[in-house]
Amino acid sequence: MNRNEEYAALRASIVEPPQLEYTVTKAFKRNGKTRRRVRLFGIPAGSLAACFLGFMLLVNLFPPFARACGGVPVLRELARAVSWSPSLSAAVEHDYVQPVGQEQSKDGITARVEYLIVDQKQLEIFYSLDSDRYEELEADASIKLPDNKGGYGSSSGSYGTPNGELRQMTVNFMELDVPERLTLLLNVYQNTYEDHGVEPKTNEASMEEAYFGPYGRKPDILTAFTFELSFDPRFTAQGEIVELEQTFQIDGQTLTLERAEIYPTHLRLDFGYVPENTAWLKGLEFYVENERGERFDPVRNGLTASGDEASPSTVTYWMDSTYFSESKELTLYITQVRWLDKERERIRLNLATGEHGLLPDGAELAGIQRLDSGNLLTFRTRQYRENNMYSLWNGYLDENGEEQSFSSSGSSYTYQDPATGEYLDGSTSGVFYETVPLPAAVGPEVWLKPVFTRSTDLSVPVKVSIR
């Protein structure tokens, strides 16, 4: 059976889920308000240079799901590709997949767009690259909307995928719904990391290059592919908005759970912020349970949260979808909340003396390393979740009061004191070390912008009914 026959057979085998036949998409009730303009958080970069800090994807395996897909050869590879995501695994298990089967070959490279998993607000593109001429192919993947609109964020976690295996690109739509069609662009290059006899650098020279040097030359593009993708409207219409407007108190602050947006690929929780609060909401640890005790957790890889440009608050949180669970009741349990206190939104640091204002709770300045290109600031801070490293800072203000972003950052469970050479290990004590660079042009004093200043663990979770 050739590939086109496989796709035809798969289409014939798909049984339309009841949700597709009977779900009525609920309109957003905005009372005259427009969709929030947002800031996106938690999208991992697709290149090794951008991912200077090491992190590990947590892979969740589902034996019943794997057995179910094992008998369908064309879905077996897709099942493996999404095994880390309960939401996407459920979508594949329920035949919620749009086969594509578009293939192009040129310059010794073949690109195939194999499948789509799409709903009203999110698009998952699964494609492959193969070649008899090149090993370890990579692609910069991007999309283009018909009218060049914005309002979306994209990410890829497929760096290092072997040739011929499925790669994944995720596109989250914010103000917009998924359009009827769009263009996928793949700029393909070869991934090569060889020393070529270069002498190893000293530790200081390595730090200079890692934090202040160029991030390596851009790879030579071997070829480019353009795919025109269109979406089955039965999929792009899927979604349910549950309007809630439930107000409650946490840690002396007022929060409102405005709505839950339930889609086949994910669930979004939208919170309102209260200007009278003394702190901005910056993060939550939470889960949702249904009436059978089935638990749904926050998304850990990809887009995890977004903020409103009207305030520093983080107001929308992504989690595993309840769409295919047929849940009659859903309850939100909040177990931890992270705040940015309004009087601590800027923290002064004197680079000459190391004197500083009150740092975020649990953080301390581990050292300032002075290099020719600038200063490296290293902070020791505790984890708010086990095996989790995060960004402590959201940039800084220079001596002129202008907001700046850190060009890079690095996080590790270990730290070598540049003055003494002593190695410090926080892996067993729940702490890690984050290093950020300040260029030499920065004056003797800066104002650091913390992501959050304190977190509160709730011994008794706050319960909010969703349905």
Please tell me the total count of domains within the chain.
Answer: 3
Alpha carbon separation from 278 to 133, 228, 455 (Å, rounded): 60, 49, 14
Tell me if 53 is assigned to some domain: yes
Confidence at 50, pLDDT banded by 50, 70, 90: very low
What is the spatial distance between Cα 454 and Cα 381, in angstroms, rounded to a whole number? 12
Predicted TM-score (pTM) of the model is 0.81
Do 229 and 249 belong to one domain? no
Asked if residue 3 has pLDDT above 70, the reply is: no
Q: What are 204-227's pLDDT values in tens digits?
A: 777 777 888 765 567 899 999 999
The yes-or-no verdict on residue 169 having pLDDT over 50 is yes
DSSP state of 108: T
* Percent of residues, the chain, with pLDDT higher than 70: 81
* pLDDT, average across residues 431-448: 91
> Binning pLDDT at 50, 70 and 90, where does residue 53 land?
very low
User: pLDDT digit string (tens) for 418-433?
Assistant: 878 888 898 888 999 9
**Element holding 137 (H helix, E strand):** strand 137-144
**Over the stretch 115-154, which tens digit does the pLDDT of each residue have?**
999 999 999 999 999 999 999 999 999 999 988 777 788 8
Q: Say yes or no to pLDDT of 249 above 90.
A: yes
pLDDT at 35: 42
Pair (83, 223) in one structural domain: yes
Coil vs helix vs strand at 106: strand
Please, what sign has the CA dihedral across residues 322, 27, 170, 14? positive
Q: Are 410 and 453 in contact (CB under 8 A)?
A: no
In this structure, the answer to whether residues 102 and 228 fall within a common structural domain is: yes
Please tell me whether residues 7 and 129 are part of one structural domain.
Answer: yes
Q: Which two tokens stand for residue 278?
A: 């003394």
More confident position, 374 or 331: 331
388 occurs within a structural domain: yes
pLDDT tens-digit map of 405-415: 998 889 999 99
Under 8 Å between Cβ of 162 and 209? no
Q: What is the DSSP string of 407-437?
A: S--EEESEEE-TTT--EEE-TTTTEEEEEEE
* Contact in structure between 419 and 367 (CB atoms under 8 Å): yes
Q: Which domain holds residue 109?
A: 3-28+43-192+216-236
- In this structure, the answer to whether residues 110 and 72 fall within a common structural domain is yes
In a domain, 198, yes or no: no
CATH of the domain at 157: 2.60.40.1640
* Burial class of residue 32 in the structure, from the number of CB atoms within 10 Å of its CB (0-12 exposed, 13-18 middle, 19+ buried): exposed
Mean pLDDT of 93-104: 95
**230 and 266 inside one domain:** no
Q: Residue 349 domain-assigned?
A: no
Of 251-260, 425-434, 457-466, the one with minimum mean pLDDT is 425-434
**Which string of b and e fits 209-241 if b means at least 16 CB within 10 Å?**
ebbbeeeeeeeeebbbbebebebeeebbbbbbb
Q: Are residues 119 and 188 in the same domain?
A: yes
Report, as an integer, the average pLDDT of 357-362: 95
Q: Same domain, yes or no, for 115 and 226?
A: yes
Examine the domain organization and report whether 155 and 73 are in the same domain.
yes
Averaged pLDDT score across all residues of the chain: 82
Tell the residue number behind the tokens 């050869």, with chain if given: 73
Residue with tokens 């789509």: 116
* pLDDT band at 31; cut points 50, 70, 90: very low
State the pLDDT at residue 38: 54
- Residue 130 within any structural domain of the chain: yes
| The pLDDT value given to residue 76 | 83
- Please tell me the predicted confidence (pLDDT) of residue 399: 79
- Would 143 be classed as within a structural domain? yes
Q: Are residues 225 and 283 in the same domain?
A: no
pLDDT of residue 212: 82
Does residue 243 register a pLDDT over 90? yes
- Residue 332 vs residue 22, higher pLDDT: 332
Q: Is the pLDDT confidence value at 387 over 70? A: yes
Which ranges of 212-339 would DSSP assign to H, the alpha helix?
233-236
pLDDT score at 41: 63
pLDDT, residue 86, reads 94
Per-residue pLDDT reduced to its tens digit, 183-201:
999 999 998 754 444 444 4
Query: Given pLDDT bands bounded at 50, 70 and 90, which one contains residue 74?
Result: low
Same domain as 376, residue 292? no
CATH for 332: 2.60.40
Nearest to residue 141, comparing CAs of 45, 264, 59, 39?
45
**What is the greatest pairwise CA distance in the chain?**
72
Q: Compare 129 and 67 and report the one with higher pLDDT.
A: 129
Strands of the 374-382 sheet, one edge to the other: 363-371, 374-382, 431-439, 410-412
Share of the chain above pLDDT 90, in %: 60
Same domain, 283 and 298: yes
Q: Answer whether 33's CB lies under 8 Å from 101's CB.
A: no
Residues 376-395 have a mean pLDDT of: 92
How confident is the model at residue 10, as a pLDDT?
39
Asked whether residue 99 is assigned to any structural domain, the reply reads yes
> How far out from the chain centre does Cα 233 lie?
26
H-helix or E-strand spanning residue 12? helix 3-13
Expressed in percent and rounded to 5, the helix, strand and coil fractions of the chain are 15, 45, 45
pLDDT class of 240 with cuts at 50, 70, 90: very high
95 within some domain? yes
